[in-house]
Amino acid sequence: MRTLALLAALAVGARALISDHIDQSILVASQNSNKHTSDAEQDRVTSLPGAGDLDFELFAGQVMYITVDEDAERALFYTLAESSSPQPDKDPLVLFLNGGPGCSSIGGGFLSELGPFYPTPEGVSLVKNDYAWNQLANVVFLESPAFVGWSYSNTSEDAVVGDERTAKDTYEFLLRFLTRFPKYQDRPFWLAGESYAGHYLPNLSVEILDGLKNKKHDKDHLNFKGFLLGNPLTVPEIDSRGALRFWYTHGIISEDSYHGALENCDLTKHEPLKLFAEKAGAVADLDEETEEGTRFVRSNRKLSREIFDADHGIGSNGDDDRQKCEAYIIQAMDEMAGINIYDIYADVCLDEDQQINKKQFSISNNISGGGGGGDADGGAFLSFFLKQPPQPRYDPCISNEVEIYMNRPDVQMAFNANSSGHQQPGPWVTCTPRVEYSRKDVLTSMLPVYDQLLGSGLEFLVYSGDIDAIVPIIGTRRWIRKLGLEVEEKWRAWRSATGQVAGWMVKYSEGLTFASVRGAGHMVPYTQAERAFHMFSKWVHGKPL
DSSP for residue 350: B
Mean pLDDT of the chain: 78
Percentage of residues of the chain with pLDDT beyond 90: 53
195 in catalytic set? yes
pLDDT digits (tens, 9 = 90+) for 169-198: 999 999 989 989 999 998 999 999 999 999
pLDDT value, residue 483: 97
Distance (Å, whole) CA 423 – CA 217: 34
What pLDDT does 69 receive?
67
Domain 3-235+443-540 is in which class?
alpha beta
Question: Greater confidence, 495 or 158?
Answer: 495
Give the model's confidence band at 347: pLDDT under 50 very low, under 70 low, under 90 confident, else very high.
Answer: confident
Alpha-carbon span 95 to 540, nearest angstrom? 12
Provide the H-helix boundaries in 337-378.
none
**pLDDT at site 218:** 57
- Asked whether the beta carbons of 66 and 51 are under 8 A apart, the reply is no
| pLDDT over 70 percentage in the chain | 71
* Angle at CA of residue 202, ends 196 and 206, nearest 5°: 145
Give 22-42 pLDDT, tens digit per residue: 333 333 333 334 578 888 998
Q: Which of 218-232, 269-283, 363-377, 514-528 has the weakest average pLDDT?
A: 363-377
Give the whole-angstrom CA distance, residue 179 versus residue 321. 55
Q: What CA–CA distance (Å, rounded) separates 57 from 140? A: 12
What is the per-residue pLDDT for 254? 97
Which among 361, 412, 356 has a CA at the least distance from the CA of 388? 361
Question: In 144-301, which ranges are E strands?
Answer: 152-153, 160-161, 188-194, 223-230, 289-290, 293-294
Bigger pLDDT: 434 vs 392? 434
Residue 383 annotated in active site:
no
Q: What is the mean pLDDT of residues 411-416?
A: 91
Which of 113-117, 370-374, 516-520 bottoms out in mean pLDDT, i.e. has the lowest? 370-374
Residue 490's contacts (CB-CB under 8 Å, 6 or more residues apart) are 506
* Residue 117: strand pairing partners: 128
Cis peptide before 145 (omega within 30 of 0): yes
Cβ-in-10-Å burial (0-12, 13-18, 19+) of 60 comes to buried
Q: Which amino acid is at 99?
A: G
Return the domain boundaries, the chain.
Answer: 3-235+443-540, 238-361
Side chain identity, residue 219: K
Among 36, 199, 522, 534, the active-site one is 522
165 or 303: whose pLDDT is higher?
Answer: 165
Q: What is the pLDDT of residues 78-127, one digit of tens each?
A: 999 999 999 999 999 999 999 989 999 999 999 999 999 999 877 789 99
Active site residue 468: yes
| pLDDT value for 419 | 59
Instruction: Give the CA-trace dihedral at 45, 49, 54, 58, to 10 degrees.
Output: -20
pLDDT score at 251: 96
Q: What pLDDT, on a 0 to 100 scale, did the predictor assign at position 67? A: 67
Region of poorest pLDDT, from 42-51, 131-140, 207-216, 511-520? 207-216
pLDDT, residue 272, reads 40
Average pLDDT rounded to a whole number, residues 214-218: 68
Measure the CA–CA gap between 66 and 430, rounded to whole angstroms.
Answer: 20
Of 83, 195, 205, 516, which residue is the catalytic one? 195
Does 487 have pLDDT greater than 60?
A: yes
Could you give the angle at the alpha carbon of 10 between the alpha carbons of 6 and 15, nearest 5°?
Answer: 150
The catalytic residue among 468, 496, 516, 534 is 468
**Between residues 455 and 316, which one has the greater pLDDT?**
455
Whether 157 and 192 have beta carbons less than 8 Å apart is answered as no
Three-state SS at 111: helix
Cis peptide before 544 (omega within 30 of 0): no
- Asked whether the predicted pLDDT for residue 289 surpasses 90, the reply is no
CA 435 – CA 147 distance, rounded (Å): 6
Cα–Cα distance measured from residue 37 to residue 57, given in angstroms and rounded to the nearest whole number: 14
Residue 216 has a pLDDT of 65
24 phi, psi to nearest 5 deg? -65, -35
H/E stretch holding 204: helix 197-213
Of 156-160, 213-217, 314-318, where does mean pLDDT reach its minimum?
314-318
Q: Are 1 and 446 in contact (CB under 8 A)?
A: yes
pLDDT of residue 479: 97
Say what the pLDDT of residue 214 is. 82
